[in-house]
Amino acid sequence: MKHFITTADWSRAELQAMLDEAKRLKAAPINQTLAHKKIALIFFNPSLRTRTSFEVGIFEMGGHAVVLQPGSGSWPMAFEPGAVMDGVAEEHVKEAARVLSRYCDLIAVRAFPKFQDWAEDRQDLVIKAFAEHATVPVINMETITHPCQEMALMMALQEHMGATDGKKFVLTWTYHPKPLNTAVANSGLLIASKFGFDVTLLCPTPEYALDPRYMDLARAYTQANGRSLTISHDPQEAYQGAHVVYAKSWGALPYFGRWDEEKPIRDAHKHFIVDEAKMALTDNGYFSHCLPARRNVKATDAVFDSPNSLIIDEAENRLHVQKAIMAALAVK
Ligand code: CP
């Protein structure tokens, strides 16, 4: 049984087949592919796009979505093996995952890091526990990666650019008042490198490099494709000739749980905002962001609203790619 927890578990050809199916579903959205299928959507964190696009996609394919928010309408859950459950958790994932598997054909999970200890968060324990104990496929709706977002981004890029091989993809850190999850940054790095881009990671200092697991995968993918992975701390250099600028903010991993110490570095790099002057250095490049995004903090209004902005197309494509992913996993 195969899960959709990270695109690292899937080949480029397998992912491309899902993207091709998503393109077909965009043209003909209504079908009965998930007729009589039940999908549990478990949200440990808030969402606008993910919840709506999954619910709508399941409806459009004749299935039924069950939305659960543990701790708010369903029981708080424990995950650690051998947990002594004398705190707030009323049930263990060992029961929850197996019970939901008796009712449902797929389980999708959103579980952000706790932002205290990266050594713990990087293990992705919540979704791995669901995958271990469920007897149906599990889909990642964002944990420490966001594979559905990756697919939506790649679909939007292919729609606008055609072939992506040999094009320049810049993943730029941007300022945000709070340290955010690295999930979308990890995912942007993975999908761009897997699909043949020359990839530049632009970030304020070496401390903002992503987890070595994702840096190493990106290096391996780019090498296998005969492409490059470059780390830059200079926006003028990084934007030069870019075909895609993908913006995201994230917290520097060495400061995990000690965010007051990171704040001065973060505050000193507000100029990493994506603006018209930087975009003018690109090769008429496309801009995108996973959303939600703070206007005039991460990117200027002019960039968000420019004809080269793919933010709404990428968000729409969440619907189409997730339908293709659910079809691939649920229909045997
Ligand atoms: N991009 C994304 O996952 O959006 P939501 O957090 O609103 O679901």
Q: What is the 8-class DSSP label of residue 80? A: S
Query: CA-to-CA distance for 257 and 262, rounded, in angstroms?
Result: 10
CB 246 within 8 A of CB 203: no
Residue 34, domain member (yes or no)? yes
Q: How far is CA 248 from the centre of its chain?
A: 11
Tens digit of each residue's pLDDT (9 = 90 or more) over 15-36: 999 999 999 999 999 999 999 9
- Pick from 49, 67, 155 the residue to mutate for probing ligand 1's pocket: most ligand atoms within 8 Å of its CB: 49
Residue 114 included in any domain: yes
**Cα 321 to ligand 1 centroid, rounded to whole Å:** 14
- The CB of 31 under 6 Å from ligand 1? The reply is no
Alpha-carbon distance of 246 to 172, in angstroms, equals: 6
Q: Length of the chain in residues, anyone?
A: 332
Task: Work out the number of other CB atoms within 10 angstroms of the CB of residue 25.
Answer: 22
Query: From atom 7 of ligand 1, which residue's Cα is the shortest distance away?
Result: 48
- Shared-domain flag, residues 279 and 172: yes
Residue 258 lies in a domain: yes
Atom of ligand 1 nearest to the CA of 142: 3
CATH number assigned to the domain comprising residue 60: 3.40.50.1370
Average pLDDT over residues 240-244: 98
**3-state SS assignment for residue 125:** helix
Structural domain contains residue 138: yes
Q: Does one domain contain both 221 and 107?
A: no
Is residue 105 located within the same domain as residue 161?
no
Element (H, E) at 17: helix 12-27
Structure confidence at residue 234 (pLDDT): 98
How confident is residue 73, by pLDDT bands cut at 50, 70 and 90? confident
CB 104 within 8 Å of CB 138: no
**pLDDT band, residue 332 (cuts 50/70/90):** low
257: left (phi over 0), alpha (psi -120 to 50) or beta: left
Please report, rounded to a whole number, the percentage of residues in the chain having pLDDT higher than 70: 100
Residue 288 CA to ligand 1 centre (angstroms): 14
Give the chain's mean pLDDT: 97
Task: Report if residue 1 sits inside a domain.
Answer: no
- Could you tell me if residue 2 is inside a domain? no
Same domain, 99 and 214: no
9-13, 15-19, 256-260, 268-272: lowest mean pLDDT where? 256-260
Q: How many domains in the chain?
A: 2
Q: Return d(Cα 262, Cα 255) in angstroms, integer.
A: 6
* CB distance 110 to ligand 1 below 6 Å: no
Regarding the beta carbon of 322 and ligand 1, being less than 6 Å apart is answered no
Do 121 and 192 reside in the same domain of the chain?
A: no
Residue 275, domain member (yes or no): yes
Domain check: are 296 and 166 in the same one?
Answer: yes
State how far the Cα of 331 lies from the Cα of 314, in Å rounded to an integer: 25
**Whether 56 and 155 share a structural domain:** no
Q: d(Cα 260, Cα 228) in Å, to the nearest integer?
A: 34
Q: Is it the case that residue 233 has pLDDT exceeding 90?
A: yes
Mean per-residue pLDDT, 86-108: 97
pLDDT digits (tens, 9 = 90+) for 23-72: 999 999 999 999 999 999 999 999 999 999 999 999 999 999 999 999 89
**Nearest C-alpha to atom 4 of ligand 1 is from which residue?**
49
* Span 290-311, average pLDDT: 98
Domain that holds residue 302: 149-314
Residue where the block lists tokens 């990756």: 150
Are 163 and 226 contained in the same domain?
yes
Residue type, 4: F
Q: Tell me: do 54 and 74 sit in the same domain.
A: yes
Q: What is the DSSP letter of 10?
A: S
For residues 29 and 56, the answer to whether their CB atoms sit within 8 Å is no
Do 118 and 199 lie in a common domain?
no
Rounded to 5 degrees, φ, ψ at 313 are -60, -45
**204 and 278 in a common domain:** yes
Q: What is the CA radius of gyration of the chain?
A: 20
- Same domain for 176 and 256, yes or no, is yes
